[in-house]
């Protein structure tokens, strides 16, 4: 785990490139853009087949990473790059996730780990002229400087539709506080295992969501708990920033450390003008 003092002066000299195999679904990452931008690059060896192995290699050889999403080959995928990028986030390593499949995978395999993916790019957006900016965004979030589009708020989420079969189910939800006219799709694995049997149309939940996001693919969801059906437009007004106390701390933890420390301490507040949600 990185220390705060190290991160305050964090410098990126070498970037690890985690690519799909030559027979894989993603086009080879243009690593030369990173070199044009002034960084050294190191390619993660294809023989490394597990997330812990790759994280350990990157910790030893680089200070940041750029990762394709659909790793491995068509026939033998390893795991999704989003999962690897989330593990690198937990290790305090700034990582860009780059994919040609953003429009498709944003609803499924990327959404599962979106809370730990500060920057997700379509391949066409990856360019030497913006690379340093995107890496700075990742470093800044790990330091605890969270942009408005990434700050989580406790809001109400309504289940609108469920489809698929066991092991491959998708849930469409509404977040009225964000946009009452739009629906967001996610895999059922985003929900805690103990709640999945209760996920059906008409179910209401509390969840932590970054409702400052501009686009649907930027939204993440976590810390779901069951909620009563809202009344008096509560779903349009219920929005609580339960992390204010640590976001404004004079001596903050790293952002990923905050999430671990405070995850079990999130409290739900009730607007005085609304009905008591617990009765």
Q: Which two tokens stand for residue 175?
A: 């977040």
The rounded distance, in Å, linking the Cα atoms of 4 and 93 is 13
**CA 238 → CA 150, 157, 226, distances in Å?**
18, 10, 15
**CA 153 → CA 53, 68, 148, distances in Å?**
34, 29, 11
Would you give the DSSP letter of residue 129? H
Query: pLDDT value at position 255?
Result: 47
Select from 207, 209, 228, 233 the least CA-distant residue to 219: 209
In the CATH hierarchy, which fold is given to the domain comprising 4-143?
A: Rossmann fold (3.40.50)
Burial class (CB in 10 A: 0-12, 13-18, 19+), 173: buried
The residue count of the chain comes to 279
DSSP states of 182-246: EEEEEEGGGS-GGGGGG--TT-EEEEEE-TT-SSGGG--EEEEEEEPPP-TTHHHH-EE-TTHHH
CB 228 within 8 A of CB 204: yes
CB 86 within 8 A of CB 116: yes
Cβ within 8 Å of residue 72, ≥6 positions away = 20, 21, 24, 78, 79
Per-residue pLDDT tens for 244-254? 554 444 443 44
CB 17 within 8 A of CB 41: yes
CATH of domain 148-265: 2.40.50
Tens-binned pLDDT, residue by residue, of the chain (279 aa):
444 445 557 899 999 999 988 777 888 999 999 999 999 999 999 889 899 999 999 999 999 999 999 997 666 667 999 999 999 999 999 999 999 999 999 999 999 999 999 999 999 999 999 999 999 999 999 988 889 999 999 999 999 999 988 778 999 999 999 999 999 999 999 999 999 999 999 999 999 999 999 999 999 999 999 999 998 889 999 998 866 554 444 443 444 455 555 544 544 443 333 334 443
Query: pLDDT value at position 254?
Result: 45
Query: pLDDT value at position 122?
Result: 94
Ordered by start, the domain boundaries in the chain are: 4-143, 148-265
Select from 152, 118, 150, 115 the least CA-distant residue to 136: 118
Query: pLDDT value at position 279?
Result: 39
Residue given tokens 């994280």 in the structure block? 55
């Amino acid at each position: 785990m990185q220390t705060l003092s190290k991160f305050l002066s964090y410098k990126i000299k070498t970037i690890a490139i985690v690519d799909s195999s030559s027979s894989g679904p993603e086009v080879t990452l243009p690593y030369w853009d990173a070199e044009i931008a002034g960084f050294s690059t190191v390619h993660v060896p294809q023989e490394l087949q597990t997330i812990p192995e790759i994280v350990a290699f990157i910790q030893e050889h680089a200070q940041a990473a750029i990762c394709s999403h659909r790793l491995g080959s068509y026939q033998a995928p390893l795991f999704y790059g989003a999962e690897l990028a989330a593990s690198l986030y937990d290790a305090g390593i700034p990582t860009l996730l780059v994919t040609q499949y953003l429009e498709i995978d944003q609803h499924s395999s990327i959404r599962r780990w979106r809370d730990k993916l500060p920057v997700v790019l379509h391949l066409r957006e990856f360019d030497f002229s913006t690379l340093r900016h995107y890496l700075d965004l990742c470093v800044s979030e790990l330091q605890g400087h969270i942009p408005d589009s990434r700050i989580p708020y406790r809001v109400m989420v309504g289940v609108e539709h469920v489809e698929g079969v066991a092991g491959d189910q998708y849930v469409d939800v509404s977040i009225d506080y964000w946009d009452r006219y739009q629906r967001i799709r996610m895999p059922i694995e985003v929900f805690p295992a103990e709640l999945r049997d209760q996920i059906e149309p008409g179910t209401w939940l509390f969840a932590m969501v970054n409702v400052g996001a501009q686009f649907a693919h930027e939204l993440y969801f976590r810390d779901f708990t069951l909620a009563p059906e809202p009344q008096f437009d509560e779903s349009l007004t219920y929005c609580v920033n339960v992390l204010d106390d640590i976001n404004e701390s004079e001596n903050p933890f790293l952002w990923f450390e905050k999430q671990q420390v405070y995850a079990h301490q999130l409290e739900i507040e009730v607007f005085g003008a609304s009905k008591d949600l617990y009765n």
